[in-house]
Structure 1
Amino acid sequence: MTRTTDQIAALRRAAGDEGATSDFDLAPEFRPAPRTLRPAGVLIAFEETPTGLRLFLTKRASGLKHHPGQIAFPGGKVDPGDSDAVAAALREAEEEISLPRDNVEIIGTLPSHETVTGFSVTPVLGLVQGRFSPVAEAGEVEEIFTVPYPHVADRSRYLVEGRIFRGRPRQFYAVPYGPYYIWGATARMLHVLAERLAP
């Protein structure tokens, strides 16, 4: 088997939505009272390359009201026209990075993730079929880049870091890559994937 074939097989084994994660996993003292979460979906899309799989990520535009400049998966809330979170993730990826939804093979989903902002996010694992030219959605996405599979699959690359939030120290996961600081919900969901990819 080739490296890429092995990586795809590992992703298929990792899929499964048992359990749940949260932005409050490392900071339970910040957990709010029980609340109604809004459904959302993000696409964890890998593309085949001659050197193995690479993951698509975006840098959010600096002028956005929520999470400006942060690294994120393509995705967003479930709209009335979406059948489910998977459909929302595919629609948002088409809007944000111009990835045609018909060009994505859905591998499965990962455990839902609760965000500070009140969403229950379904991470959707996908494999890009064929080549496409990413185009950033004006005003929403500042940059589109890719990260090699070995980086996100290696649990030793994940850090627990902290910063002051609402006047108190708060811890979170991070998995920096070059100039990109991948942290928060994005890193937490990738950490779940890395744990499942571990041999």
Structure 2
Amino acid sequence: MNSSLSRFLSHYLLTPMLQDSLSETSHSAAVLVPIINHPQGPTLLFTRRSRQLRHHPGQVAFPGGKRDQADHSLYQTALRETYEEVGIASQFIEKVGELPTVNSRTGHCVKPFLALVQPGFRLNLNRDEVAEVFEVPLLHLVEPNHYISLPFGPRQVHFLPYGSHLIWGMTANILLHLTSKAAPLWPCAPHDKY
């Protein structure tokens, strides 16, 4: 495992999580926050949603979606949706932990699950839902200076530009939580490069 990823996971696992009071209702949803464990450096995998979708068309997101009645847990929802959207099978995925629940603008309580994904999987995109998949280095994502916050009514909306992509909204909020947990790690590791 890459040394920067090892430090990140050690710090993440040692930091107490806030307790969630999410009830797993039919309006619940889940996403996988997939860290790809590349030998040259960890990345996070993102999807860009199809423009034909009714909710959040064209936006950058994590793989995930609404819970089905057949799902035994929200984590199973995240695994099922990841496989259906991008084709990554559960045998490549190891759950690391849970992140605080976020609320979407469409009224769903969304539970993010942080997971380590081993390389070797084959992507198989569901083009009805996913226009493209891309990866961003973890070291880029945990740098607080890369984020822009703008007022939008009574709240702040967060944005993270990366190449031709703009990550914002709920996905950026999830990333900012990871950033706040990881920020103390990176100044002491200037030699790590991706």
Q: TM-score, normalised by structure 2?
A: 0.84
Question: What is the percentage of aligned positions where both structures have the same residue?
Answer: 36
Structure 2 partner of 1:183: 168
User: How much does 1:197 deviate?
Assistant: 1.3
Cα deviation, 1:69-128, whole Å, max 9, x if unaligned, reads: 000000001110111111101100001110101211000101000111101111100001
CA RMSD of superposed structures (Å): 2.2
Structure 1 residue 149: deviation in Å? Answer: 0.3
The answer to whether structure 1 residue 59 and structure 2 residue 48 are counterparts is yes
Distance, in Å, in 2 between the alignment partners of 1:196 and 1:16 is: 10
Change (3 A) 1:103 1:14: farther
Aligned residues, how many? 180
What are the equivalent positions in structure 2 for 1:7-156 lying under 5 Å apart?
A: 7-13=8-14, 16-18=17-19, 38-156=27-145
- Alignment partners' CA distance in 2, 1:125 and 1:172: 22
Rounded Cα–Cα distance in structure 1 between residues aligned with 2:115 and 2:18: 14
- Give 2:132's aligned amino acid: E
Tell me the CA shift for residue 198 of structure 1: 2.0
User: Contact (CA 8 Å) 1:59, 1:141: kept in 2 or not?
Assistant: yes
Higher mean C-alpha deviation, range 43-52 or range 178-187: 43-52
Determine the C-alpha separation between the residues in 2 that align with 1:180 and 1:117: 22
- Cα deviation, residue 19, structure 1: 5.6
Whichever residue aligns with residue 196 of structure 1, its letter is K
Asked if the contact 2:38/2:119 (under 8 Å) is kept, the reply is no
Q: For 1:132 and 1:187, locate their aligned partners in 2 and report how far apart those are by CA, in whole Å.
A: 26
Structure 1 unaligned runs (5+)?
Answer: 21-35
State the 1:159 CA deviation. 1.1
d(CA) in 1 for partners of 2:67, 2:122: 25
Q: Per the alignment, in what secondary structure is the counterpart of residue 111 of structure 1?
A: coil
Q: How far did residue 162 of structure 1 move?
A: 5.1
2:84 maps to a residue whose letter is E
Where in structure 2 are there 5+ consecutive unaligned residues? 185-194
The one-letter code sitting in structure 2 at the alignment partner of 1:9 is: S
Is the contact between residue 76 and residue 89 of structure 1 (CA under 8 Å) also seen in structure 2?
Answer: yes
Alpha-carbon distance in structure 1 between the residues aligned to 2:29 and 2:15: 21
Q: For 1:196, which of 181, 184, 192 is the aligned residue?
A: 181
- CA offset at residue 135 of structure 1? 2.1
Decide whether the 8 Å contact of 1:14 with 1:197 is kept in 2: no
